Amino acid sequence: MFRGSAKAKIDAKGRFKLPTDFRRLLEERYGSRDVFVTSVEGNCARLYPLPVWEELEERLARLASTDPKRLRFQRRVSYFGQQGVLDAQGRLVLQPILRDAAELVGEVVVCGHLEYLEIWNREAFEKHLAAEPFSEEDFGDLSAKGI
C-alpha cells in the first residue's frame, strides 16, 4: 500500500523521478517498474502500478460499452494516459498533455492513495487542500463506514 507523501521534482525535459521509498514498494510488491500514468480531472497525475491499472480496466470492461460514465472516464484517462516503465533511477517522462494540464513542473508532491500515487504541483495541491477542508461531517461519515 502506498502511504504518506514525498517531495519530488520534474526536470526541464519532463522527467519525473519517483521517490525512493515509493519506487522500492512498487518493485517489491508488483515485481516490476511498469506503470500507467493518467488523470481524470487534469489537475494531477495518477501513477498506477500496471497490474492495478489492468484490474481497473477489467472492472470497466464489465460495464456496458455505451455507459456514459464509462465513456467519460475512458476518454479522460486515455487523453492524459501513457503506459511506461520507470528507468533504473526511477524516472519516467510524463507526457506534455498531462504536464501542461496539471502544471507539473519543478517541485511536486507525491501522495500515496493505497493502490496508486498522485503527483501534484505543490502550490496547486496546497490550494486544493485549503479549498476542500476535511470537516467534522467527513469524520462522522467515515466513522459510520468503520474508518
pLDDT in tens, 101-111: 999 999 999 99
Amino acid at residue number 98:
L
Distances (CA, A) of 17 to 9, 20, 60, 88, 103: 7, 9, 30, 10, 16
Give the separation between CA 94 and CA 145, rounded to whole angstroms. 36
Q: Per residue in 81-100, pLDDT tens? A: 999 999 999 999 999 999 99
**Rg value, the chain, Cα:** 16
Q: Is the pLDDT of residue 70 over 90?
A: yes
Residue 111 pLDDT: 97
Q: Per residue in 117-139, pLDDT tens? A: 999 999 999 999 999 989 899 88
Residue 139 pLDDT: 87
Within 10 angstroms of residue 48's Cβ, the number of other Cβ atoms is: 23
